[in-house]
Amino acid sequence: MQISKEQIGQFNENQKESHQRQFEYVTGQLQDKGLDVESILEKISNFQVAIPSWALGTGGTRFGRFSMGGEPGNLEEKIKDIGILHQLTRSAGAVSLHIPWDIPENPDEIKKLADSYGIIFDAVNSNTFQDQPGQDSSYKFGSLCATDPQVRALAIDHNKSVINHGVALGSKSLTVWLADGSSFPGQLNFRKALQRTQESLQEIYAYMPSDWKMYIEYKPYEPNFYSTVIQDWGTSHLLAQACGDRAYCLVDLGHHLPNTNIEQIVSTLLWKGKLGGFHFNDSKYGDDDLTVGSIKPYQLFLIFNELVYGMANNEADNPPLAWMIDASHNVKDPLEDLIQSLEAIRLAYAQALIVNHERLEQARDINDVVLCQDIMQAAFRTDLRPLLQEARLRNGGAIEPISFYRQANIREQLIAKRGNNSIATGL
């Protein structure tokens, strides 16, 4: 769905005056602190987040699924949905494909369509956690770690074919997340399983084109409930090191045990130049896949604070990170949910950009704990939403994307076009 610039412009006209007042107020606040508003706006504008091809439909849980209607029924429609997000927010300029859920039948055509919305292809994701129809061997007892060499070969071949699909679309990286593990004590020889996983990953790594990166994702539990082969960032780091310079760790916010200090993990990995990418979501208990920033916005800010510091002090030459939302939508319209997530990510980034690191370091040096906390919270509590609105306005997006989405009846239009029962492939 192409939304005309005039339509967005007209909509913005009604909100411009009130926006302008708020933007001037926050500009004054930031200038008082000696901050360069234009450079912050530029950084915010350049910050693009990939939308996963599996997050555009209703996710559901293992208990049920409640469709919104108008879901994208194929890859083309998914790209069009991301096009809507990008036109309204100017911050969703990439898509991350999940294979085999979204195999591009005609890569040139799909590329052209994505191009027309200014969308590029970010990391491609392999799937060896489900059996596909007609598959010779089963992933029931693992994939890259499997004891059966035939199963391992199948999983390795699948990853190679994902790389081939990615090459055709202009992707430059592969994300591997494994469900491999065990559900009962004694089921798996930990060392052998990890060793087999390492060897499998090395074979996949060797197959990648020389300008590709591999992101190794970790997760402590689920769907296996006793052990996971790549359970934490340390294991992911060991495997990345064993593969080579272009293999990195991928941090998914929901893939940690409760109360894990994720910002500290970010700091350590950036120090070593081994942080490849990020999967954003939010959670209360486990891998809940909730809207980014809906539960723990302060944690998100603290993570971005480490990211901004780490990239500004990048002695280990950590490459630019791959940013992706990895969430599921059970009770919200997926597109509205994604707009909220995009906003939360940019907001946390903007807040991190206004932390006065010089003052913070001085306060740390003299152990002024009170001042340290004040500096952090002063940044977090500054309302920078007008800055995000200004970035959107300047780039042709909507000042208030969700209001626009609702007023323009976009979901109703999608239902009229695709029907009430279309189902998006994915989670």
- Indicate the residue among 122 and 326 with the shorter CB distance to Mn ion: 326
In angstroms, rounded to a whole number, what is the distance separating the alpha carbons of residues 13 and 158? Answer: 50
Q: How far is the CB of 223 from Mn ion (least distance, A)?
A: 14
Q: How far is the CB of 283 from Mn ion (least distance, A)?
A: 12
Q: Which stretch binds Mn ion (CB under 5 A): 125-133, 206-214, 259-267, 322-330?
A: 322-330
Q: How far is the CB of 66 from Mn ion (least distance, A)?
A: 23
Stated as kind and residue range, the H or E segment containing 333 is none
Q: How far is the CB of 326 from Mn ion (least distance, A)?
A: 4
Give the residue, chosen from 326, 336, 337, 390, that forms a contact with Mn ion under the rule CB under 5 A. 326
**Among 66, 69, 74, CA closest to 103:** 74
Q: Which stretch binds Mn ion (CB under 5 A): 49-57, 82-90, 248-256, 375-383?
A: 248-256
| Residues 59-88 contacting Mn ion, CB under 5 A | none
Q: Which stretch binds Mn ion (CB under 5 A): 6-14, 184-192, 263-271, 273-281?
A: 273-281
Between 196 and 235, how does the x/- string for binding to Mn ion read (CB under 5 A)? ----------------------------------------
Residue 122 binds Mn ion (CB under 5 A) = no
Q: Which stretch binds Mn ion (CB under 5 A): 237-245, 251-259, 381-389, 401-409?
A: 251-259
- Indicate the residue among 186 and 285 with the shorter CB distance to Mn ion: 285
Residue 279 binds Mn ion (CB under 5 A) = yes
- Indicate the residue among 3 and 176 with the shorter CB distance to Mn ion: 176
- Indicate the residue among 233 and 380 with the shorter CB distance to Mn ion: 233
Give the residue, chosen from 122, 252, 287, 390, that forms a contact with Mn ion under the rule CB under 5 A. 252
- Indicate the residue among 71 and 326 with the shorter CB distance to Mn ion: 326
Residue 343 binds Mn ion (CB under 5 A) = no
Classify the phi-psi angles of 123: left when phi > 0, otherwise alpha if psi is within -120 to 50, otherwise beta: beta
Q: Which stretch binds Mn ion (CB under 5 A): 86-94, 113-121, 128-136, 247-255?
A: 247-255
- Indicate the residue among 326 and 390 with the shorter CB distance to Mn ion: 326
Q: Residue type at 27?
A: T
Q: Which stretch binds Mn ion (CB under 5 A): 82-90, 133-141, 229-237, 250-258?
A: 250-258
- Indicate the residue among 213 and 279 with the shorter CB distance to Mn ion: 279
The binding site for Mn ion (CB under 5 A) comprises 252, 279, 326
